Amino acid sequence: MPPRAKPKLAVWKFASCDGCQLSLLNCEAELLRLAGAVDIAYFPEASRAMAKGPYDVSLVEGSITTPHDAERIHQVRRASKLLITIGACATAGGIQALRNFKDVKDFIRAVYASPQYIDTLGKSTAIADHVRVDFELRGCPINKDQLLEVVTALLQGRKPATPPDSVCMECKRHGLVCVLVAHGTPCLGPVTHAGCGALCPVYHRGCYGCFGPKETPNTASLSRAWLGLGATEDDVVRAFRSFNAYAEPFRRESEAHERVQITE
């Protein structure tokens, strides 16, 4: 094969905790191989690399929470051939999307001495609400093996193997004992997108839903099962309202149970 020019990779940060970028840095040995396979052209978190675009692949971490970022994401899109969102913030608005359920002005008044200097949007939103996204990688944080798989697959021009089915599928392949059935521990695994390797059930905990909704999630049925295990309506609201609170199926489910609480 003729030698190819190395594809240019950029890593962008919006409203986020940097955890997903850290997953990339945690790739250790593979990171060196990655650096051999791509030209890391823009990655302020890790290097002084600030090469100008256009970029072949942009990894975008974080959600859109300010008018400035709502502009900047369009620049990133224009400069990128492929735009991949990494993590719950970029894909669903993140934990900071909890503001979406309240009036953000109340928070600003409560937190800042001079609220007039704060320029923020009423909602924290996913990148795909603003620009076209070519691939979404789930997780809070993302799984580094999945990140490598996505980058590798795109470099080779194939579809990444990141199945959208339930965490239960991974849990069962590992041969773990189901914490919901055998221990009565509420678990979000049956409605949560695979990818973490059933990390919480490995430690005998219920899944927290870090990877957001699976394909066709039946959240209403799982909530009924949780209530049957002794969880309260409030527990259900909180479970669905975490890192992926504003992912559509999770948002609807938490709102349904919030309404129950109000009418009770």
Among 205, 224, 252, 259, binds another protein (CB under 8 A): 224
State which residue, 38 or 140, has the beta carbon closest to another protein. Answer: 38
CA distance 121 to 123: 5
CA distance 105 to 120: 9
Q: Residue 30 binds which one of another protein, ligand SF4, none, with CB within 5 to 8 A depending on kind?
A: another protein
- Cβ distance 50 to 42 under 8 Å? yes
Helix-then-strand count for the chain, H and E: 12, 5
Among 11, 15, 24, 34, binds another protein (CB under 8 A): 34
Q: Which residues, numbered 204-243, are part of the site for ligand SF4 (CB under 6 A)?
A: 207
Q: Is 50 exposed, middle or buried (0-12, 13-18, 19+ CB in 10 A)?
A: exposed
Beta bridge partners of 166: 193
Count of residues of this chain found to bind ligand SF4 when the rule CB under 6 A is applied? 14
Query: What is the residue whose two structure tokens read 């302020």?
Result: 44
Among 176, 231, 256, 260, binds another protein (CB under 8 A): 176
Q: Is 10 in the site for another protein (CB under 8 A)?
A: no
Torsion angles phi and psi, residue 175, rounded to 5: 80, 25
- Site residues (vs ligand SF4, CB under 6 A): 167-168, 171-172, 176, 178-180, 187, 189-190, 198, 201, 207
- Site residues (vs another protein, CB under 8 A): 1, 30, 33-34, 36-37, 148-149, 151-153, 155-156, 158, 161, 163-166, 168-169, 172-178, 180-184, 187, 189-191, 204, 215-218, 220-222, 224-225
